[in-house]
Structure 1
Amino acid sequence: MDNYFRPFDQLRVNELMVNRIGYFRPSYELNDGQFIYAKLSTAGWFKPTAILETADNRWELVPKGLFRRTLYINKSATENIGSVKPEAWTRKISLGMNDGFQAHFTSKKVFSRTVYLNSDQYGDMFSIEPNLWKFKMPFRVTFNRDILKQVPEIGMYMLIGIYMVLLRQQQAAAAH
């Protein structure tokens, strides 16, 4: 894409921070304190679309319909590469890619705010932990660096997880 993002294969730490930029239409940057590796932003009002960007690719998370919970992962306007679906009556979110990759975003404990991406093939891939009372750095992502070599699209999965946590926070705030 451009030189704005650093590739994930050059990552040298096991923890990334998420910086919130803006107030009304915030975007979120995944960084290690020095370099930016990925960005999450949104577009649209009635059918909001999440835009996920890394050094190599750009994806969109598009809702299936106005009142549907399923989100499609699109690489371009016409190419669907997977879907994300929150399961009913649980806190589990299923991630299914067209290439056969399957994983779930889950919380291991009932009252825990930390969300893990878990797949049968790789186990726990990373965790997203909300930072309480930190408006500018709302999340911290922890992972094993070995997973970067095994899963090339790990940046996209991290951004999807952050977006799903943000959606859950918005839904919880709207319920009060």
Structure 2
Amino acid sequence: MTSETLWYANRATGAVCLVLFTVVVVLGMAVRLRVKIPGLPRFGTISLHRSLSLSATAFLALHIAFATVDSYVDITVLDAIVPFVSDYQPLWLGLGTVALDLMLAVLITSLLRNRIGHRTWRATHWLAYASWPVALIHGIGIGTDTGTDWMTWLTFACVAAVLAAAGTRLALGVRASRRTPAVLLRTAEGAR
């Protein structure tokens, strides 16, 4: 492959990763809220979340492979795993590495969920919420398409989707927490 082909492949896989991980984050919130996607049973939402998570991870592996194989910029495998050690744009590349490391923790604990227990898995799974914005900032800072109309709109759409899902989750969480004391009070009074 030529350096130009690798550059285009790196850009394309980066954009695909943004979209896929955005959908994964939104689906993760939908799973937590027990949202049923039209045409799918409830377990279908969970299966879709898992499948897209693995697909997104595969595209991330391609994105990293294309970046490290491309000879135009010297990015090593170590640069992709250890944050902020690269000579090439250490801040922006380092943020991508941090996002990768957080996602690896989520992936590994998800694969070991039955062995490590639900509490440990759930606590680690929260890292996905940190990983997504860090990866987004990495893409904005290092991406060669940043500022182009199509990438601006794609980024805006992804941010809007995650914010809408997070807002819905927070609103429903607040509503549920307001109801919980009343339900507990009624339950306690009924037990008397």
Return the TM-score normalized by structure 2. 0.24
Bigger relative CO (Cα 8 Å, ≥ 6 apart): 2
Structure whose residues are more often helix by fraction = 2
Larger radius of gyration: 2
Structure with the bigger percentage of strand: 1
